[in-house]
Amino acid sequence: MPAYSEKVMDHFMNPRNVGEIEDADGIGEEGNPVCGDMMTFYIKVNDNRLSDVKFKTFGCGAAIAVSSIVSEMAIGKTIEEARKITPSVVAKELGGLPKNKYHCSNLGAQALNLAIDDYQRKQGMKVKPRKRRKNDHE
């Protein structure tokens, strides 16, 4: 079994911001059919800031911990700041992830970005299509 940091264990055992936002401004869903992890992020935006972020995740402990920390990192950030939450930033914030669980940090960052894309599309903004890298989910 991979060794998880205390922070990963804390966010797995006591995940923050679990749930759904009924009238979400943006929703992003990302998943990995290989390992079965599925994440859905819901965001609320006020004055270009993420005023609320909730998630629903079906997956392993690392996936739940990643979703929890991403939601905490994103609340209160501007859209531009939230876009800077990358997989490596997520893994670092959690005190590292075992190599075979690093893909979970990709899923969390991508689901958040997809929720922001959804919000921006609904606002009539042009959103760049995301390139899917083959290795993102392996």
Would residue 60 show up in a list of annotated catalytic residues for this protein?
no
* Lookup: tokens for 76: 């209160």
Catalytic residue among 8, 35, 66, 111: 35
Residue 15: φ, ψ to 5°:
-65, 140
Tell me if 125 is assigned to some domain: no
pLDDT in tens, 101-114: 888 889 999 999 99
Tell me if 133 is assigned to some domain: no
Query: Residue 43 forms beta bridges with which residues?
Result: 26, 53
Do residues 71 and 94 make contact, with C-beta atoms less than 8 angstroms apart? no
Domain with 90, as residue range(s), is 6-120
Catalytic residue among 63, 104, 112, 116: 104
Q: Domain with 45 in it: what CATH number?
A: 3.90.1010.10
Tell me if 127 is assigned to some domain: no
- Domain tally, the chain: 1
Q: Is the dihedral of CA 66, 82, 41, 138 positive or negative?
A: negative
The alpha helices in 32-99, defined as continuous H runs, are: 61-74, 79-83, 87-93
pLDDT in tens, the chain (138 residues): 558 999 999 999 999 999 999 999 999 999 987 888 999 999 999 999 999 999 999 999 999 999 999 999 999 999 999 999 999 999 999 999 988 888 888 999 999 999 999 999 999 999 887 765 444 444
